Amino acid sequence: MVAQWSRIAVAVVSVGIGMAACSRNLAATTEATPAAASTSQSASGGALVPTSSPSSVDTGRAQARMVSGLPDFSALVDLYGPAVVNVSVVEKDSSARASGGAAAEPFSEFFKRFRDQPARGEGSGFIVSPDGYILTNAHVVKDAGEVTVRTTDRREYRARVIGSDEPTDVAVIKIEAKDLPTVKLGDPSRLKPGEWVIAIGSPFGFDNSVTAGIVSATSRSMGQSTYASFIQTDVAVNPGNSGGPLFNLDGEVVGINSQIYTSNGTYMGLSFAVPIDIANNVREQLVGTGRVTRSRIGVKIGEVNAQLAESFGLDRPRGALVSDVEDDSPGAKGGLQPGDVILKIAGTSIERSQQVPAEISKQKPGSTVNVEIWRNNKPQQLTVRPEEMQDGVKQVSLRERGGDAGMTGKLGLSVRELTAAEKAGAGVDGSVLVEDVEGAAARAGVRPGDVILGVGSKRVSSVKEFQELAKKSSRAVALLVQRRDDQFFIPVPVG
């Protein structure tokens, strides 16, 4: 079975007929650890210490060891566990999901009874204000007709959905109560791979289950989400954990558990959380205005791989490569050009291109945003004023382009200049048409019919200009090409 991304709310469908009981094997296994025979813990709860005399070799290893002992999460769970809730959902209309067709007609009454049962689902959430505002995942409460919140002391509340934002998979719900326990929000930008984190939620309906692990990576792109760079962990997260909090060791919520990577629908060692700063920004907007406003600057960007980094004179692959800038857009007004590499936005370093949409979208429309770029082999500072994104307008298009590392000594391109009539008929700005391609350029992905707009950050208006710029590149040429309505860079190795 092919592995796939899975959102992790657990769904249960009731039928109006008896069903054979099914049991889930929950047998626990106990495994002795090597440390158990040679270490002990102090009565005060201190770090593990050796109970036997170490050899000189062991002493050397201990001095070099950077981590000792294991964390105890019990105090954290005691303090903040009561703020984690179970979220049960009944869909408002499940009749559209009916089975039917000619084959089902003899059993129409049975299927009618099946359809009449509302679809149910379960997830998790956590209280962020004493008066009952709760954060959870958008997919947990999607199409909800009835939402019930159950706290750790088994009280139940009817909740209303304040709003949800599918692009970030964040939703806000509200219960009518006072003096509720709340969580403390942290700063996910300070997370580091290897740091301990824990999840609290309701996997498979088991309320307030605690699982622990480490941060595997930060700023992960999940493809389907443009506006959130996810926190990857190895914390055991399963259906029903959706919407639950991810805590650091300071007891701060740093993320909302949202997705897993799985081939069987359950945990396989890869779980992903929405950073809490993004989620809280969504919460504040939904509570304040009932809608989420995002900003855009009107550029297309792509990933910077090793070959592109070399061709642009960067020390290593990093940042986001601008391949196109919309006319009269905030990016154009701010001075951004194709061939620029965005290195920082509002002081935040950009390592991967997927960070740009998230960083730009959370800036206030009309605000002044400092952008550091790499142009002509040196960093430069620009200022842009993002505008509000309208429905149907994408802030940025992410496109990753790679290339074969093999070299042929030539680009392998046959090009000619377009006539004025051809340019007008094709609606292109460039003048250099690729007629034939082979060797390095073919392997890199250049195709006949592509129009070469530039080399690196330099625009070309003739075959001569193209050839002169290409000759100056020693190892790789970054070609800005137009293919139909799209523009992007292709790095082509040269000899």
Name the residues annotated as catalytic. Answer: 139, 169, 242
**Beta bridge mates, 436:** 414
* Integer Cα distance of 152 and 82 in angstroms: 6
* Integer Cα distance of 465 and 479 in angstroms: 13
What the block records as the tokens of 316 is: 């290593």
* Integer Cα distance of 477 and 262 in angstroms: 39
- With beta carbons less than 8 A apart as the criterion, state whether 170 and 278 touch: yes
* Integer Cα distance of 286 and 128 in angstroms: 14
Rg (C-alpha) for the chain, rounded Å, is 28
Going by C-alpha positions, the residue among 268, 5, 286, 13 that lies closest to residue 128 is 286
What the block records as the tokens of 433 is: 């048409």
Going by C-alpha positions, the residue among 438, 459, 212 that lies closest to residue 325 is 459
* Integer Cα distance of 345 and 369 in angstroms: 7
* Integer Cα distance of 479 and 52 in angstroms: 65
Question: Residue 141: left (phi > 0), alpha (psi -120 to 50), or beta?
Answer: alpha
Ranges of beta strands (E only) in 385-438 are 387-388, 398-399, 413-417, 432-437
Going by C-alpha positions, the residue among 265, 216, 272 that lies closest to residue 2 is 265
What the block records as the tokens of 184 is: 């403390």
Contacts of 224 (CB under 8 A, 6+ apart): 5
What the block records as the tokens of 210 is: 């605690």
The structure tokens 């509720």 sit at 180
- With beta carbons less than 8 A apart as the criterion, state whether 244 and 206 touch: no
